[in-house]
Structure 1
Amino acid sequence: MAAATRPTPRGAEEASAGEERRVLEPGAAPFGNFPHYSRFHPPELRLRLLPPELLQRLFPNESPNPRPILGLDVGCNSGELSVALYKHFLSLRDGEAHADAARELRLLCCDIDPVLVARAEKESPFPGALTFITLDFMNQRTRKVLLSSFLSQFGCSVFDIGFCMSITMWIHLNHGDQGLWEFLAHLSSLCHYLLVEPQPWKCYRAAARRLRKLGHHDFDHFRSLAIRGDMANQIVEILTQDHGMELVCCFGNTSWDRSLLLFKAKQTQEIISSLNH
């Protein structure tokens, strides 16, 4: 897929009609592309678990002209959480950064749903810092082109940090066990650090139940999944045992019972000790 473009007036009407249908049938969003996701999982309830100085501690300013910290937000929906993350980590209040905000942050935010991406792009208060694109992350060819294009602007081949917030279940349901394994493999190869919020297994059952209630076909892989149970632990095992990452810290659980897990590609004992304290 390509980067999203602003819809024409007719396209906007069709997009609006599509959103109305999805509001009426929220369970019919097969990729988690709910049109008003932040209403039932507000960004601030996640952010209160994350220290605002996290990125400053992970990426200290060690040169007079440092490049921006590069972040990848996979499954950004309509951008509310992306914007909230940006403001939170730069300690932004009313658009002004605190004096101790050490480095700039640039986020590449992607989602499979072009309607949501168009809305995120239109409503973003930080168009120079947040880039929104339509992307099926499991499409290897498109993923490589779009991510490389962004990274090359900064002379980099990987992101400093990736955000995967309540996305793993949708990958798992739509692409199966192998798809989840490959998704985590791609992410771990693209990011020095990775912040993951896995959905617990009860969310899988609820998603399948919503589809059935609406008369839709079940997810193709739901009944055949072998990776199940404690999904946070399953994802920790895949990332640490199969993909060479290390669990740095668990920041706790959200009010909807999802863990916020920080992983690193290579061990840095000083950072681990600091975060644990």
Structure 2
Amino acid sequence: MNVQCQPVSPALLPGYTTDGRKGQKSPKRFIYSCSSVAETFHAVAKQHRGNYFEDGPKMEAPISEPTCSEEKEDPGAALYGNFINYYTFNPPENRLSLIPRTLLEDVGHEPDTQAVLLLDVGCNSGDLSIALYKHFLQDQPPGSDSSKTIHLLGFDLDQDLIVRAQNSNPFPQNVQFIPLDITSEESRTELASYLEKFGHSRFHLCSCFAVTMWVHLNHGDAALLAFLSRLASVCEWLLLEAQPWKCYRSAARRLRKLGRSDFEHFKTLEIRGDMAAHAKEHLEKQCGMELVQSFGSTSWDRSLLLFKRRSCSNQERKE
């Protein structure tokens, strides 16, 4: 089965005009390479236990849910989004309910005939990674060998969260969790080594849920665009959930309520407003990708957007 996703107009997405931008004013364009900010990004990451790869609760949500004693006393303490019990207040079902079980087949990858490689960026404790793996397995016919041909690699900067993911992993033969910073040169070697085992140069599908804001707030505009460029370089299809601007304001407000300083780059960010539109513009104009599907918005009002490489032909998928 090889059903192609039909392109959708960006105008269908909230806040988009027919040219894929919000309103009449065009957003400023920024062009940066990932390598230009990787060294700084990696150095700062080593100074903090935490990651840039998951999101905290909304301001409207109760803030007493985390079980970690530090978070009970200081719910804004996870400055990089590394909330210890993130999935108790944003369970995997919030995203899975929008993602079709047939997604792998819809984008031209049939697990029965080839190894399908999935990458989950910023996996936190691995709950959503495992749920996504099981989600895709459920679509396979009885007796199929798909459990042997779907492989998922999840990573996060927070080593403690990765240890939790590894210890609770029910599918160690097919799902792996590693500590990794995608902006570092080391990550290029590690990901290339993983792909080489399967004879591929890119992952078939990369998922990135609620990561972009933490990179952006802590390291600025250049780091955000470099991060998006890096994602585009390692996969054929990208499933992206970018936090909207209101989440930035909520994160900054949490810090102010705690008597802390704002995020270092918050007041100087030039990329603001419709963050999904900014991500779309950069991925399409600078990374050779195109938006092919919007799966709607989560209960936290975040769009799940599916992008593909423009050069992603049927022959390239088979290779």
The two structures have a TM-score, normalised by structure 1, of 0.83
Residue 158 of structure 2 corresponds to 113
**Do residues 99 (structure 1) and 142 (structure 2) align?**
yes
**Do residues 20 (structure 1) and 63 (structure 2) align?**
no
User: Using the alignment, how far apart are the partners of 1:205 and 1:100 within structure 2?
Assistant: 49
**For residue 129 of structure 1, what is the amino acid of its counterpart?**
N
Q: What's the offset of the Cα at 1:23?
A: 4.4
Residue 228 of structure 1 corresponds to 272
**Do residues 70 (structure 1) and 130 (structure 2) align?**
no
Report if aligned partners of 2:203, 2:235 keep a CA contact under 8 Å in 1.
yes
Paired residues in the alignment total: 247
**Residues 1:22 and 1:149: Cα distance change in structure 2 (over 3 Å):** farther
**Do residues 126 (structure 1) and 126 (structure 2) align?**
no
- Runs of at least 4 residues of structure 1 off by over 6 A? 267-270
Partner of 1:28, secondary structure, is: coil
Q: What's the offset of the Cα at 1:242?
A: 1.6
Report if aligned partners of 1:55, 1:89 keep a CA contact under 8 Å in 2.
yes
**For residue 70 of structure 1, what is the amino acid of its counterpart?**
L
Quick check: which one's helix share is greater?
1
Among 8, 26, 50, the residue aligned to 2:99 = 50
User: Using the alignment, how far apart are the partners of 2:129 and 2:152 within structure 1?
Assistant: 8
1:192-211 deviation per Cα after TM superposition (whole angstroms, max 9, x unaligned): 00000010101001111112
**Residues 1:136 and 1:61: Cα distance change in structure 2 (over 3 Å):** closer
Report if aligned partners of 2:182, 2:230 keep a CA contact under 8 Å in 1.
no
**For residue 185 of structure 1, what is the amino acid of its counterpart?**
S
Report if aligned partners of 1:56, 1:102 keep a CA contact under 8 Å in 2.
no
Query: Once structures 1 and 2 are overlaid, which stretch shifts more, 184-193 or 147-156?
Result: 147-156
Among 186, 193, 216, the residue aligned to 1:172 = 216
**Residues 1:101 and 1:227: Cα distance change in structure 2 (over 3 Å):** farther
Q: What's the offset of the Cα at 1:257?
A: 0.1
User: Using the alignment, how far apart are the partners of 2:75 and 2:154 within structure 1?
Assistant: 23
Among 33, 36, 57, the residue aligned to 2:82 = 33
Among 169, 176, 181, the residue aligned to 1:136 = 181
Report if aligned partners of 2:155, 2:180 keep a CA contact under 8 Å in 1.
yes
1:189-237 deviation per Cα after TM superposition (whole angstroms, max 9, x unaligned): 1100000001010100111111222233321111111111011111111
Note the aligned Cα RMSD (angstroms). Answer: 2.3
Report if aligned partners of 1:163, 1:194 keep a CA contact under 8 Å in 2.
yes
Report if aligned partners of 2:104, 2:110 keep a CA contact under 8 Å in 1.
no
User: Using the alignment, how far apart are the partners of 1:150 and 1:268 within structure 2?
Assistant: 21
**For residue 73 of structure 2, what is the amino acid of its counterpart?**
L
User: Using the alignment, how far apart are the partners of 2:293 and 2:241 within structure 1?
Assistant: 12
The two structures have a TM-score, normalised by structure 2, of 0.72
Residue 22 of structure 2 corresponds to none
Q: What's the offset of the Cα at 1:122?
A: 0.4
